[in-house]
Amino acid sequence: MLFAVTMDVRLPLGLAPQVKADLLANENAYSQELQRSDVWIHIWRRVGQYSNLGIFDVTDNEHLHNVLWQLPLFPHMRIDVTPLATHPSGINP
């Protein structure tokens, strides 16, 4: 199943620099692991925002839920999920 997922990051003000650095490093490592395993199949930065748009290919809703809850930045995100379906006018299956 394909899902478009928008993640707006809102880190707390006053977060200790080392805590922030560790959090971002862990997020980067986890997101790259998901990309290598073909779960997070596309990721784009949303220009001018601390936000991204990703396309996830997961087995079901619960799989996506578990993937997103394990993101190190999850407690500091606003996440919008949109299920995707093939468009009848699309030329790519």
* Residue 91, in any domain of the structure: no
Model pLDDT, residue 93: 66
Give how far Cα 64 sits from Cα of 3, 21, 49, 88, Å.
8, 26, 24, 25
Domain that holds residue 69: 2-84
* Residue 8, in any domain of the structure: yes
pTM score, whole prediction: 0.91
Radius of gyration of the chain (CA): 14
CATH number at residue 38: 3.30.70.1060
Q: Give me the residues of the chain with pLDDT under 70, please.
A: 93
* Residue 54, in any domain of the structure: yes
Model pLDDT, residue 92: 78
Q: Rounded to whole angstroms, how far apart are CA atoms 61 and 82?
A: 11
Domain count, the chain: 1
Q: Rounded to whole angstroms, how far apart are CA atoms 89 and 17?
A: 49
